Amino acid sequence: MHNDTRTGPSENIASILQSTAGKRSGPRLEYHLKAGEKEPMHSHPTGVVYVLSGGKLKFSYPDGRTEETTAATGETIWREPTTHAVKNIGDTEAHAIAIDLKTPGQH
């Protein structure tokens, strides 16, 4: 299972991002995953994900485990480092912005 921390739509993303004060941010990535679409296995560092349009997702991990989850529109997710593949198993496009965080010493 992910080691993610989720907050509901009422949580202000600005407060989540302020909680990362002192940590340098890395790439900001925008994800669009249409219904039935899959991203191949890839890795992420620690980061924050803000869900612009929710969806039902299935994550697959290198050890063969899978996990289904629903990401709600407006939800903010604190993401620990992970390697996974993801498939949109819902009926609508999922859309999110992910901000990777760098720890001191990373460039």
Residue 20, pLDDT above cutoff 60:
no
Q: In terms of C-beta density within 10 A (0-12 exposed, 13-18 middle, 19 or more buried), how is residue 76 classed?
A: buried
What per-residue confidence (pLDDT) applies to 93? 96
Q: Would you list the domain boundaries of the chain? A: 5-102
Which is the CATH superfamily of the domain at 5-102? Answer: Jelly Rolls (2.60.120.10)
Q: How far apart are CA 43 and CA 28, in angstroms?
A: 14
Is this model's pTM higher than 0.85 or not? no
3-state secondary structure of 51: strand
Q: How far apart are CA 76 and CA 13, in angstroms?
A: 7
Residue 22, pLDDT above cutoff 70:
no
Selected residue with higher pLDDT from 26 and 10? 26
